[in-house]
Amino acid sequence: MESVMARAQAHIAAMAPYALADMTPQADRPLISLAQNEGFRPPSPMTQKQAAEAFALGMLYPDPDWTGLRCALAALHRIMEQGILCGNGSLELIGALARVYSGPDRAVLAPRHAYPFFRTAAQIADARFDTAEENDLTVDIDSLLSAVCADTGLVFIANPGNPTGTRIPKPDLVHLRRELRDDILLVIDEAYGEFADHLCEPCFDMVESGNTAVLRTFSKAYCMAGFRVGWGLFPPVVAAEVRKVLNPNNIAALSQTAALAALNDQSYMRETCDLTAALKDQAVNELRNAGYRVRPSYTNFVLIEFASSEAAEMADQRLRAEGVILRRQSGAGLPHALRMTIGPALSTKKALDYLCRWKRGALS
């Protein structure tokens, strides 16, 4: 009898796997990874200490309501605790929002060069993914509004943007929310928000309108990518629906403890942002002096533009031969660009040296 294999749903079978960075090391070179937008130093000492102590309770399930973490987040940001949800990284929350608020009859809209996982989340939900053109790699509010369709149900914006590093002022987002239909949920992903909070206040107060959600993460400014803790502020009615599709016990007890400790060490986080900004400014100056086009970035990475996609591919291959891994951006519609995380000073310097030598034709 001929066996018949189970078949995936058609829209899943048609998807390509989400493209992660190729971290294959060179056999004779130490790996310098500047592709993942990870923090360049360990989490705060307070976080490390509390996480180590949490190992002793590893036989217990974690708090499914993230009680201590939600309370601390509400106090720090002066927001409503009942509207906070925590996820296994902000990716879990993005995916959950897409499953709840989009689908075959409700499309997703995002800027042209938005975070590629927005598209993946829409595909998983079997939703059409629409894009709006940007203005000089910056979100264009008028373009977004013009791209809204009758079936648009969800709008994703990352601010600051990934992979562009650009940002738009909060008044522009307020204007967008005012002009969108009330039945459209606006999701503002502020994964890199802590790097730009000194320029503009967060968008948490926009959640009070009832149709806006704001996401953040501990992966970037708190240097905790390996702990997988994200969170968001939602209108209570939205939070109640999204909660239904989150995995129970989704954040390990150790990770909850570590995130709570990180919140209690704001000076370390702010120092991380300041050090990152100083290293980033140095990198931007060196790259521009070498002849690269590098836009202002309000994150922990820079987007480096090349003359063509072929040039970007050649540079990427040559850097990989030296053990330096940056991130191609074809998935974000920028095949002529590489994204470089601001890593430890020595690793960043080596990457910059190779990039400058490649530009001069001295790295062939």
Mean pLDDT in residue range 278-298: 95
Question: Strand pairing partners for 324?
Answer: 32
* Residue where the block lists tokens 């974690």: 62
Query: What's the pLDDT at 271?
Result: 97
pLDDT of residue 18: 65
Residue 362 pLDDT? 62
The tens digit of pLDDT for each residue in 51-97 reads 888 888 888 899 999 999 999 999 999 999 999 999 999 999 999 99
198: confidence class by pLDDT, cuts 50, 70, 90: confident
Confidence (pLDDT) at 1? 56
Q: What is the arithmetic mean of pLDDT over 279-285?
A: 95
Whole-angstrom Cα distance, residue 107 to residue 150?
9
164-183 mean pLDDT: 95
27 pLDDT more than 80: no
**The whole model's pTM is what?**
0.93
Q: Mean pLDDT check: name the lowest of 53-57, 99-103, 193-197, 214-218.
A: 53-57
CA-to-CA separations, 230 to 6, 149, 153, in angstroms, rounded: 34, 30, 23
pLDDT for residue 261: 96
- What pLDDT was estimated at residue 208? 86
CA distance 306 to 161: 19
DSSP class per residue in 2-55: --------HHHHTPPPP-----PPPTTS--EE-SS---SSPPPHHHHHHHHHHG
Which pLDDT score is estimated for 23?
62
Judge whether residue 163 has pLDDT over 80.
yes
Indicate if the pLDDT at residue 5 is higher than 90: no
Model confidence at 32, in pLDDT bands (50, 70, 90)?
confident
Contact assessment for residue 155 and residue 144, using Cβ atoms and an 8 Å cutoff: yes
Mean pLDDT of the chain: 92
SS3 160: coil
Using one digit for the tens of pLDDT, what is the confidence trace for 226-237?
999 999 999 999
| Whether 339 contacts 35, CB under 8 Å | yes
For 175-189, what is the mean pLDDT?
96
| pLDDT band with cut points at 50, 70 and 90 for residue 21 | low
pLDDT the model gives residue 209: 78
Q: Flag whether pLDDT at 363 surpasses 70.
A: no
Instruction: Please tell me the predicted confidence (pLDDT) of residue 179.
Output: 97
